[in-house]
Structure 1
């Protein structure tokens, strides 16, 4: 077991997560592994997924209030900030996204994202 200071090797698989949080209407999921440094997550957003439709009922906020630091493995997503600015991301893109946004899958391929910052409480029922 790690000492919290990074002195021990830790290997975990997202294929055997500590927790899986499904989104509404079987539109995807967040797989989580816990580490001494916090939760790490892999989100799978199916085609047609939209935060305001499939996660807002779980989160209970008008827009997503999680900060995300992540990497897009596959698929495409559009993010619209509360100030109206928006951007698309796709495979190979790094993401820093502050709280206050909506997001949705673009196209007919699932979007798979890795998240180092926002996974711990994302899509977590109160």
Structure 2
């Protein structure tokens, strides 16, 4: 299984970027690959419409380390763990998303990478 780290540098403080990224209500504004509609809360779970269908999202608790890891439970019941970090950077903040190939073909992995790059570019543009 291969991994890729996709990142972008944002000209805003890491704290400000973390606050935005860790707020589930902001997902549709930047994470189109995950949430294409308003996020609905059901207890600790978040439900969102995605290109894959309705998914359940579970974030790690808010923290001071910039960790925004989240599990996505797909419509077929499979769970995908998504490491996401907001790191201090000399120019503001760096957002790093780790992709894992898992059972994807190389073409699907490349497509998934492009979608994450587009999401991170949308996030950068919001700041």
TM-score, length-normalised on structure 1?
A: 0.28
Structure number with the higher helix fraction is: 2
Structure with larger RCO (C-alpha < 8 A, sep 6+): 2
